[in-house]
Chains A and B, each alone.
Chain A
């Protein structure tokens, strides 16, 4: 069964750091595009970061320079290192696998598997 299980969330003071983990089963994170998506309390979904199977990484402007996405292929795990945390980073965080398929006019992308959630609360 294809599954993602996040961990690492918690309560942290502003300016602090946390590392989220996302353990995959049923597929290899090393050969897939993987994303982090977050959802602030009562708000909608916000894309945070993407890593391609080749290793390139991309970030939303709101977290660029503070967050780092990475993989540990030996443990089949995706990570999100979050530094200099702010109140606005308070959210539930999901990891997700992105698939790509060819269409007549190019490609289409979609997040087919999502993790359960891990909660990050930034507060003094």
Chain B
């Protein structure tokens, strides 16, 4: 199966911008989706497709894709954005399977 690679952790100052990246061969075939998971809570979809936000997700969250890399950007990070963020996509080596990245822990300083 394919893998999606994420940095384990990043930090961002309150109000600043942070970009989280996700690399993998599957992203050449499928857009990444991004999930926010706060401690003790279920994941929540924040970005899907080229750059789509579900209802209720603040517009400070945005996504982009280039080649085999997907990115999630938080512009003007807030304290409540401190969470784990996972990318995911269908697996290009077996497109009936899903693959998740290892997750990136975002700390807002």
Contact with B along A98-124 (1 / 0, CB 8 A): 000101001111111011110000000
Query: Which residue of chain B has the shortest Cβ distance to A6 in the bound complex?
Result: B42
Query: Which residue of chain B has the shortest Cβ distance to A111 in the bound complex?
Result: B45
Counting contact residues on chain B (CB < 8 A from A), the size range is 20 to 34
Instruction: For A115, list chain B residues within 8 Å (CB).
Output: 42
CB pair B45–A112 under 8 Å, yes or no, is yes
Query: Which residue of chain B has the shortest Cβ distance to A94 in the bound complex?
Result: B42
CB pair B96–A109 under 8 Å, yes or no, is no
CB pair B43–A114 under 8 Å, yes or no, is yes
Given the known A-B contacts A35-B98, A50-B97, A109-B89, are A44 and B103 also in contact in the complex, defined by CB atoms under 8 Å? yes
A45 within 8 A of B: yes
Instruction: For A37, list chain B residues within 8 Å (CB).
Output: 43, 98, 100
Query: CB < 8 Å: which of A50, A112, A116 contacts B48?
Result: A112
Instruction: For A1, list chain B residues within 8 Å (CB).
Output: none
CB pair B45–A110 under 8 Å, yes or no, is yes
**Interface size, chain A (Cβ < 8 Å):** 25
Contact with B along A54-79 (1 / 0, CB 8 A): 00101011000000000000000000
Query: CB < 8 Å: which of B33, B42, B100, B101 contacts A110?
Result: B33
Given the known A-B contacts A44-B100, A46-B100, A50-B97, are A108 and B48 also in contact in the complex, defined by CB atoms under 8 Å? yes
B86 within 8 A of A: yes
Q: Is the interface of A mostly helix, strand, loop or mixed?
A: strand
The CA of A26 and the CA of B106, in the complex, are separated in Å by 33
The CA of A61 and the CA of B43, in the complex, are separated in Å by 23
A47 within 8 A of B: yes
B102 within 8 A of A: yes
Which residues on B are within 8 Å of A, measured CB to CB? 1, 29-31, 33, 35, 37, 42-45, 48-50, 54, 84, 86, 88-90, 96-103
- Top 7 A-B pairs, shortest CB-CB distance: A47-B98, A110-B48, A110-B33, A108-B31, A58-B96, A45-B100, A44-B103
Give 11 new A-B contacts, CB below 8 A, not counting A108-B30, A108-B31: A35-B98, A37-B98, A44-B103, A101-B49, A103-B49, A106-B30, A109-B33, A109-B90, A110-B88, A114-B42, A114-B43
